[in-house]
Structure 1
Amino acid sequence: MSTDTSRNAVINLRLHAQARELIDRAAAALGKSRTEFMVEAARREAESVLLDRCYFTLDEKAFAAFAAALDRPPADNPRLRRLLRTPAPWD
């Protein structure tokens, strides 16, 4: 990502008034402009989509070690077990 702070790209959107009002309310709740809110939300989603499609390659030995690690049962984790037994605050 460039460190240049100037904005020189424009995106025009058409949406229902209700969607715009919802976005405006959420942006105001965070003390942001509509543009800031929408750009941050769109960037987060774009990064999430692209990170979910990450591709990597391993040589045969590394792949065997990776597959073995995935096949091993999880290590005992008492703190996680306790967390999963704790009722949610809204229950």
Structure 2
Amino acid sequence: MPASPSTANPEPTTRAVNLRVREEIRDLIDQAARIQGRTRSDFMIDAARRAAEETLLDQTLVRVDRETYDYFLAVLDHPPGGAGYERLMAAPSPWKA
């Protein structure tokens, strides 16, 4: 028996999320959404999704064997050097310029 249209490609369930936001923040969001050619809702959903993913990824535990961990600690204890590193460290910080 062939699948009915509702079971062959079911629509994802959506639920409302209501937010109260100061007017100047809403205006900022609207301006950014317009620049991207998106609706306020699409812009906010995407921004919230990305923030949620980043938060969860920041909580990810990485397990390694003892040898790899010891190597990692050794690298931290002996930072890089040389002309390229010195040049990088001497470069002005963009946020201070």
Asked if TM exceeds 0.5, the reply is yes
Q: Which amino acid aligns with 2:26?
A: R
Aligned to 1:28: 34
Give the root-mean-square deviation of aligned CA atoms: 3.1
Query: How many residue pairs get matched?
Result: 87
Aligned to 2:66: 60
**Structure 1 residues 52 and 80, CA, compared in 2 at 3 Å: closer, same or farther?**
farther
Aligned to 1:37: 43
Gapped runs of 5+ residues in structure 1?
none
Give me the TM-score of the superposition, normalised by structure 2: 0.64
Q: Which runs of 4+ in 1 moved over 3 A?
A: 4-7
Gapped runs of 5+ residues in structure 2?
1-9
Measure, in 2, the Cα distance between the counterparts of 1:37 and 1:6. 19
Q: Which has the larger radius of gyration?
A: 2
